[in-house]
Structure 1
Amino acid sequence: MQSITQRRHDIDALRVLAFGLLILYHMGMAYVAEWDWHVKSIHQSDTLQLLMLAVNQWRMPLLFLISGAATYFLFNKLGSTRYLLHRLRQLLIPLLFGMLVIVPPQAYYEALSNGVIEPGYLGFLWQYFSFQPWPADSFAGSHIGITWNHLWYLPYLLCYTVAIVPIAHFLRSRQSLLRSWISAIKFWHLLLLPLLPLTLYGLFLFPRFGGINYAVVGDWYTHAQYFTFFLIGYLLVSCQAPWQLLRRLRIFLVVATPLFFCLFLLFDRGLEDGSFPGQSFINLLIIYANRWLWLLVVLAWGHHYLNRPFTWLPYATEAVYPWYILHQTITVAAVFSLSSLPLGPVAEPLLVLAITVAGCLAIHELLIRRTPLLRLLFGLKPLKAHDIRKTGALPQET
């Protein structure tokens, strides 16, 4: 096994870039035609669907895979008890704070957009925190009276954080066997083996449980899929062999991936159902092969170009979590506020993007990273004395 003290800069960088992509994706949801979202601009694009479709096949699997990779290093560094306590603090506190403070404005603007309520945020909050069901389709989660919206990733990740502990103990007790197995991995193992469980989930779990319900409970197809990616990430970083293979396969992957995406589009949009025998099964294989190839090409080229200590990486690694928590509320408020102005289909989204980035940057830089309580609420490490002086939160001692 590789040293648990070795820093994987590419994993850190990919996490930052993956959350950056998530911010852009959520902004795109306001402008893509025919896809529902919390608030929608009048400027909607059919062309944007193609780009969004390419991304949404693998963006969340990538985040769970990266989370699994980070878990390998964290678990081996802290041990099971400290690891669980650390992750509970890092995930549960921001989730609760986010649901109480950050997310309610999204529900407010969505309910306004749907014509369910009159303007007045305090009045909305009074009813919102009564925790009673709202009229149907008032906002996402209105049937239970409260929502976590984009923060759904945190409770799902919390489940996998707990579930990995017995598996990690089992794997640690068999390190030599695991090392020999992963070191002997071949290129076709890397390309094909993950498709087997994913295809089985599609055949047996998806027809029964359907796609993601964002409620954790009863979401067994989603759990099976995302926990598999989480576990794959955990295993991949435990040995160098898969990454050496990925470096050698990166040219093949950058050619094969867009070709498979074209095949995915053919089956998704170009062929009618029942065009030939076995079409549904082949379509299932193509969906998961396309998803997995995108993940591999991102990992391969990320490892090739990003595994180095960039000067921007430490700051971005800390900032990305608060940005994730904040961004969608700022985006929703900006879209709702600007959509009534005659800005046009270019100026409006650019201004929404600028407001989202500026808002996240200002709140993180001026408030969160300099305030011990806010650092706790946003899942950041406590400030040490030299960190406090460095951020300017306290005057430097003479």
Structure 2
Amino acid sequence: MSTTTTATTSATATPGQRRHDIDALRALAFLFVILYHVGMYYVAGWHWHLKSPHAAEWLPWPMVALNLWRMDLVFLISGVSLGFLSRGQGTWGLLRSRGLRLLLPLAFGMAVIVPYQAYAQGVANGHVAPGFGAFLLRYLSMSAPWPRQAFDGAEFGITWNHLWYLPYLFTYTALVALTLPLWNSAAGQRLRRAFNGLRGWKLLVLPVVPLLLWTLLLAARFPATHNLVRDFHLHSLYFTLFLYGYWMGVDTGVWRELERLRRVSLALAVAVIAVFFALRAGARVPASGLLMDTLRVLYLWLAVAAILGHGHRHLNRPWPWLRWANESVYPWYVLHQTLIVAGITVLAPLALGPVAEPVLLVALTLAGCWLLTDGLIRRVGILRPLFGLKGLRVRQAPSPALPQPLPPEPGWRSPSPRA
């Protein structure tokens, strides 16, 4: 790997070199997604499919600090992965491979994994009669309208709930794949080099400018929906971060600079979120406006930059657990929220309290993900593609050295190829 970089030219990673820090950050980012969704059950004042009677008034603060960058980091990492995958692949190869890995688990998840979440929410709301079998038949038929408040997405008859990331990621991947000639053109390469050539304060500030512009133009008009069609503000943020990752993917100079600035970006991120929280706490009404929007998106990018820099410094090595994590993260993502909801329906009647219950809920969710993934999904060939994994490889034992066969006896004929 070359270490020579300038402000305008960056070295690129050696072909075939594995970025262990990206693999590790992907796994850790989705672990935070699991913990975040457990927190959604307990956080006071936030809508979710089910809500605990043990609402925690203190929980919105750490949840906001996490929520402002968690999915942005995931989409940036996905863009980095596409940067590596796109080398040597054309438009249709990318669309075919990514479509199979993203849309097949989405369809399977909406039909098999997600329905229990909708059922549990509908029963809790009093809009769905108990009996999962009858609910599932009606849900899969998509023929009878549901009460609008029955469950999130009821107006469409079917929902993807937490799997919204998959259609968003495929959409962004398709946009890049269909415009590959643009990104590979001289102008596209100049744009990539300009971004990867940012150094010092420019790398910590200039990427914030598009994010702030999208927020000022779109946030008030297009609140988050996760329905793909009119989610323009989230699309603008996520796709921009996705492009940043795509540009950064095979570059080495920008990653070394993020590593060099990791302590500065972390300190600035902590300072910015502290000011953001202080202004929110001191406001009589929800704080908004240019200052709050600027602090919000500045914290987003500084937090992502700090995570990437520290990850490149400390995680870019072949950890023993990485191979297992790479094959487990996708099934865990597909399974985790349904397991959380199932765990809630089991634990809530026990009234274990606001400490023991969430601890046990996290433990049950992680154990369920591990048991189903390692005990079933990774072992069964037909299930692997349904959870975004490649098919099982057939291992062929090396053939022992055998003597050459004797020539056939006179009159012997080889069997027909059609036999």
Task: Please give the TM-score of this superposition, normalised by the length of structure 1.
Answer: 0.92
The one-letter amino acid of 2:238's match is: Y
Instruction: Provide the C-alpha distance between the structure 2 equivalents of 1:135 and 1:227, rounded to a whole number of angstroms.
Output: 33
Q: Shift of residue 8 of structure 1?
A: 0.7
Instruction: Provide the C-alpha distance between the structure 2 equivalents of 1:150 and 1:4, rounded to a whole number of angstroms.
Output: 34
Q: Which residue, out of 370, 375, 379, partners 1:361?
A: 370
The count of corresponding residues between Structure 1 and Structure 2 is 384
The residue number in structure 2 matching 1:391 is none
1:183-262 alignment to 2 at 5 Å? 184-209=197-222, 211-262=223-274
The residue number in structure 2 matching 1:337 is 346
Instruction: Provide the C-alpha distance between the structure 1 equivalents of 2:348 and 2:193, rounded to a whole number of angstroms.
Output: 58
Q: Which residue, out of 380, 390, 394, partners 1:385?
A: 394
More displaced 10-residue stretch of structure 1: 247-256 or 152-161:
247-256
The one-letter amino acid of 1:198's match is: L
Alpha-carbon contact 2:83-2:248 (below 8 Å) kept: no
Q: Shift of residue 182 of structure 1?
A: 4.8
Alpha-carbon contact 1:39-1:336 (below 8 Å) kept: no
1:67 aligns with 2:78: yes
More displaced 10-residue stretch of structure 1: 174-183 or 211-220:
174-183
Instruction: Provide the C-alpha distance between the structure 1 equivalents of 2:353 and 2:219, rounded to a whole number of angstroms.
Output: 41
User: Kindly tell me: are residues 187 and 142 of structure 1, through their superposed partners in 2, closer, same or farther at Cα, counting changes over 3 Å?
Assistant: same
Query: What per-residue deviation string (whole Å, max 9, x for no partner) do you get for residues 181-222 of structure 1?
Result: 35632222211111111111112122322x221111122111
Instruction: Provide the C-alpha distance between the structure 2 equivalents of 1:26 and 1:72, rounded to a whole number of angstroms.
Output: 29
Q: Shift of residue 327 of structure 1?
A: 0.5
Q: Shift of residue 171 of structure 1?
A: 2.9
The residue number in structure 2 matching 1:145 is 157
Alpha-carbon contact 1:135-1:142 (below 8 Å) kept: yes
1:157 aligns with 2:169: yes
Alpha-carbon contact 1:185-1:241 (below 8 Å) kept: no
More displaced 10-residue stretch of structure 1: 375-384 or 34-43:
34-43
Instruction: Provide the C-alpha distance between the structure 1 equivalents of 2:128 and 2:72, rounded to a whole number of angstroms.
Output: 36
SS at the partner of 2:150?
Answer: coil
Query: What per-residue deviation string (whole Å, max 9, x for no partner) do you get for residues 342-368 of structure 1?
Result: 311111111111111111111111111
> What runs of 5+ residues in structure 1 fail to find an aligned partner?
389-398
1:74-89 alignment to 2 at 5 Å? 74-89=85-100
Query: What per-residue deviation string (whole Å, max 9, x for no partner) do you get for residues 267-312 of structure 1?
Result: 333235699xxx7112211111011111111111111100001011
More displaced 10-residue stretch of structure 1: 58-67 or 281-290:
281-290
1:15-30 alignment to 2 at 5 Å? 15-30=26-41
The one-letter amino acid of 1:117's match is: V
The residue number in structure 2 matching 1:299 is 308
1:321 aligns with 2:333: no
Q: Shift of residue 167 of structure 1?
A: 4.2
SS at the partner of 2:349?
Answer: coil
Instruction: Provide the C-alpha distance between the structure 2 equivalents of 1:51 and 1:183, rounded to a whole number of angstroms.
Output: 32
Query: What per-residue deviation string (whole Å, max 9, x for no partner) do you get for residues 4-25 of structure 1?
Result: 3221110110000000000010
The residue number in structure 2 matching 1:280 is 289
Q: Shift of residue 39 of structure 1?
A: 1.1
User: Kindly tell me: are residues 97 and 235 of structure 1, through their superposed partners in 2, closer, same or farther at Cα, counting changes over 3 Å?
Assistant: same
Q: Shift of residue 266 of structure 1?
A: 2.4
Instruction: Provide the C-alpha distance between the structure 2 equivalents of 1:339 and 1:165, rounded to a whole number of angstroms.
Output: 46
The one-letter amino acid of 1:192's match is: V
The one-letter amino acid of 1:362's match is: L
User: Kindly tell me: are residues 386 and 284 of structure 1, through their superposed partners in 2, closer, same or farther at Cα, counting changes over 3 Å?
Assistant: same
Q: Which has the larger radius of gyration?
A: 2
CA RMSD of aligned residues (A): 2.0
> What runs of 5+ residues in structure 2 fail to find an aligned partner?
1-11, 398-419
Instruction: Provide the C-alpha distance between the structure 2 equivalents of 1:183 and 1:253, rounded to a whole number of angstroms.
Output: 17
The residue number in structure 1 matching 2:360 is 351
Instruction: Provide the C-alpha distance between the structure 2 equivalents of 1:64 and 1:309, rounded to a whole number of angstroms.
Output: 23
Query: What per-residue deviation string (whole Å, max 9, x for no partner) do you get for residues 203-258 of structure 1?
Result: 2122322x221111122111111100000011122311111111221121221111
1:7 aligns with 2:37: no
Alpha-carbon contact 1:112-1:119 (below 8 Å) kept: yes
Q: Shift of residue 91 of structure 1?
A: 0.3
Q: Shift of residue 387 of structure 1?
A: 9.8
Higher-helix-fraction structure? 1
More displaced 10-residue stretch of structure 1: 316-325 or 81-90:
81-90
Q: Which residue, out of 126, 130, 146, partners 1:119?
A: 130
Alpha-carbon contact 2:183-2:189 (below 8 Å) kept: no
The one-letter amino acid of 1:303's match is: H
More displaced 10-residue stretch of structure 1: 335-344 or 11-20:
335-344
The one-letter amino acid of 2:314's match is: Y
The residue number in structure 2 matching 1:393 is none
More displaced 10-residue stretch of structure 1: 221-230 or 238-247:
238-247
Instruction: Provide the C-alpha distance between the structure 2 equivalents of 1:383 and 1:282, rounded to a whole number of angstroms.
Output: 52
SS at the partner of 1:340?
Answer: helix
Task: Please give the TM-score of this superposition, normalised by the length of structure 2.
Answer: 0.87
More displaced 10-residue stretch of structure 1: 170-179 or 294-303:
170-179
